Every structure is written in structure tokens, then in C-alpha cells.
Amino acid sequence: LDVVRGVEPRIAEAIGAELADQRESLKLIASENYASPAVLLTMGNWFSDKYAEGTIGRRFYAGCRNVDTVESLGAEHARELFGARHAYLQPHSGIDANLVAFWAVLSQRVESPALERAGVRQVGELTEEDWAVLRRDLGGQRMLGMSLDAGGHLTHGFRPNISGKMFEQRSYGTDPETGLLDYDAVRAAAREFRPLILIAGYSAYPRKVNFRIMREIADEVGATLMVDMAHFAGLVAGKVFTGDFDPVPHAQIVTTTTHKSLRGPRGGMVLCDDDLAPHVDRGCPMVLGGPLPHVMAAKAVALAEARQPAFADYAQRVVDNARALGEGLMRRGARLVTGGTDNHLVLLDVTGYGLTGRQAEAALLDAGIVTNRNSVPRDPNGAWYTSGIRLGTPALTTRGLDTAGMDQVADLIHTVLDSTSPGTTRDGKPSKANYVLADGVAERVAGRSAEL
Ligand code: PLP
């Protein structure tokens, strides 16, 4: 840090403060983790200075042999780890990976047939008329994905995201009674809507998804099954999700982030079958520019780590810990969406404590417990205030907490929420944001969490 301090001391200070925050707080954000020193160090090197647009062995720049080595090794680790035919490591983030995947499917299913019809090989050779028709067709396709309040992600066709502007979207939700995915309802929606892409995967659904059934549904309506495993990639890598619950053998295309349960650097990745591979490899120049070779190197290191037996043990502990956290909360009277978990996350409905998600999130942060507020299905408080808190175990599991430790964490969360009451606005009306945490609780809880 001394080198950085010599140039911009305030940045050096922020880096130091971030390390302290991450060490001292209880990190329960389900999408965060602690990458290993090997992964972190691999990101800080001279690869950062290199341009390498193109694909392995076919670059638009000279001098890319070391980037080729890095990208091929990363892709090899990804293929071996996930049993995939093809891996593309260039996306800078999960959103980028999804954009690459959407355009790969559009390229395969809409653009290529149009080129064939017109008897040409490249878009540039299309007549103006053909090009106008193709542009219209590319823009008018349909996507069916999980609704946001059931746990889906913004990139699955929702209006604030480009996916919702590119595609006509419809959502499938969860059963109102159980909170679980209702495959018959997904099938009925798919039959009626006939999407080009059926997308499975989530950010806040605390259960496994049966991808064999999702593929059957996709096949029945002629859709491509895309799975966004950003959240649970580590559980697939660690062989906790196998058979029907492993997306790779079932989906034609799978996207992921590399920084969540997979515990790699911040980034994205696409896995696909042979038919889609050439379309995926057009991610650059379609939606990407130069790759980040230093991050691809770190992805290769993280994937190599995930191939070691210790990672399978880690992934199993992540799930055991989430179950212990959920059971600990329920034993203390809390209500969980779906009544439990079988992955790395727990969705706690905080209305039982008389709070909104926003109040709960802020009170927990006061006590050093970092979470994020999250909608629950059919949320009465909307997407900003919400009624839930999402809790995930990947980070604390990396720090070595076991199931007994997670029961303690459940106790700390319950103690804070039980000691918090909703506040009022300045003119005395009930507030969805303000809250009152009883005196001394934050300090006591922070003291106890430091011992974990
Ligand atoms: N897909 C899912 C399911 C996610 O949960 C997220 C991030 O939270 C993303 C995609 C986007 O990832 P990124 O933030 O790296 O763009």
C-alpha cells in the first residue's frame, strides 16, 4: 500500500479501511465471498496492460501468446470442472456473460437462418431490405424468466435492464402457498408464450431447481434453455448440485459470475454446447471489447482451486451452514420464505418483527452484520423498502465458521431484529426507513461476533 499511498493517499486509506471492514463485520451478503490470496495476487500484474481482442489463437493484436496461454488454461479448467463442451472466459461480469449468451442464441436462432436464407455468409453482405428485416426480427424475440420478487435477476428480461428492452418478457413465479417453483405453471406459461429463451436461475430463491424438467419444458416449446448459475456455481463446482440439479448437462447455455460462491475474481463466464460455441466466441466484438487478461488469469487460478477436493468440502459446508442458519432463525421464531433452504442462501421475512427489509438491513449493519434487503414473493413493501433480508453463507464459510457458529449468527441476527422497532417520520407518521435499535444492543452483538 505504500506505493499507492505515495500517489493518492486517500485511495490507500480506503483500501485499508475496506480490509478492516471486511475483517471486522459478519459478511452475510449471499453474492459475496473472500477470494484466496492466490486469486487476488494474480489480478495485480502486467497482464492488465495487454490488449487481446479476439479469441484464443485468433487475436486482433500482436503479442498475445501469454494471454492465449492464460485463456486456454482457464477454459480447460472450466470445461473439466463443469463437464462442459466449451467455456468462454472473457465476460467482465455476470451482466456481460448474460448479454453474450443472449446474443449467441439470437445469432444462432435468428441471424444465422437469415443469412442462410439470403445466401450470404456475413451480415455486412445483406441487402438493405434483408438487414431491415433481420434487425426487426432480432428485436422482437421473447424470453421467459423467473419474476424478480420470486428471486429472478434483473438481466432476465426486466425493464430497467437492457434485456427487458431487447426482449418481450414474461415471468414465472412461485407457488403462493409454498413459495416453491411450480413446474406445471412454468410449463403452462411456456406453452402460451412460446419464448425463444427459457431462462432458469436466480439471485434470491433459496431452493434447488430441477433443470431436467426445465429442459423438457424448453424442448416442448422450441425454446433454448439458458441457466444463469451466478449464485450457485460454487455448489455445482463442488458437486453438491448433481444430476437433475446440475445445469450443465441439461441447458444448451450456462452463464455465471466467478466471484460469488465460486470464490474467484469479479467476472463472468459462459459455458455451452458445441453448436453454440462459435456464436458465444463472438462475444467480442458483439458486446465486449478487449478482455481483462489479468482477471482471466485469476479466473484460471480460482477454477484450479475449485478442482481440488477441498473445494467440494467447502461447497458442502456452505450448504450445511445455510441450513444451520435457517434452522437457528426458525427455532427463534423467524419466518423463512419456503420454510428453509437447500442452497447457500436464506430469505428471511422480517414482517414478523414488524420491520421492513430496509429497517432490518440498517439495524443489522449498526451491529456489524452486513446483509441486503430483498423482496419476498408478492412483497407488500415494494422493491425499495422490501419485506425481506437475504442471508448467504459462502463468505463466512470461507472464514471457517461451522454449523455451531452459524447458530450463533442466527442468535445475533434475531437479537438485533427483536430489539429493533419501526421509527416515525419527522411529522410523526410511521416510517418504512427509520428505526430504533435498543441502546447497547449493537455494541453487545458486535462484541459477540468478534469472538466467532
Ligand atoms: N445473474 C445473477 C443471477 C446475479 O445474481 C447477478 C448479480 O448479482 C448477475 C447475474 C450479475 O452479475 P454482475 O454483478 O457481475 O454483473
pLDDT for 86-116, tens place per residue?
A: 999 999 999 999 999 999 999 999 999 999 9
- pLDDT tens per residue, range 69-92: 999 999 999 999 999 999 999 999
**pLDDT value at residue 268:** 98
Q: How far is the CA of 153 from the centre of ligand 1 (A)?
A: 7
**pLDDT value at residue 265:** 98
- pLDDT tens per residue, range 146-192: 998 888 999 999 989 999 999 999 999 899 889 999 999 999 999 99
Tell the burial category of 431 from Cβ atoms under 10 Å away from its Cβ (0-12, 13-18, 19+). middle
Nearest to 143 by CA among 194, 209, 186: 194
Q: Give the pocket of ligand 1 (CB within 6 Å).
A: 31, 93-95, 98, 153, 155, 201, 203, 228, 230-231, 257, 268
Q: Which atom of ligand 1 is nearest to the CA of 203?
A: 5
For atom 5 of ligand 1, which residue has the closest CA?
Answer: 203
Q: How far is the CA of 301 from the centre of ligand 1 (A)?
A: 21
Residue 366 pLDDT more than 90? yes
pLDDT band of 378, cuts 50, 70, 90: confident
The residue whose grid cell reads 460454487 is 234
The residue whose grid cell reads 463446482 is 237
Q: How far is the CA of 108 from the centre of ligand 1 (A)?
A: 24
Residues belonging to the active site: 51, 53, 228, 257, 260, 266
Ligand 1: which of 96, 155, 202, 260 to mutate, most ligand atoms within 8 Å of CB? 155
**pLDDT value at residue 176:** 86
Q: Which atom of ligand 1 is nearest to the CA of 98?
A: 10
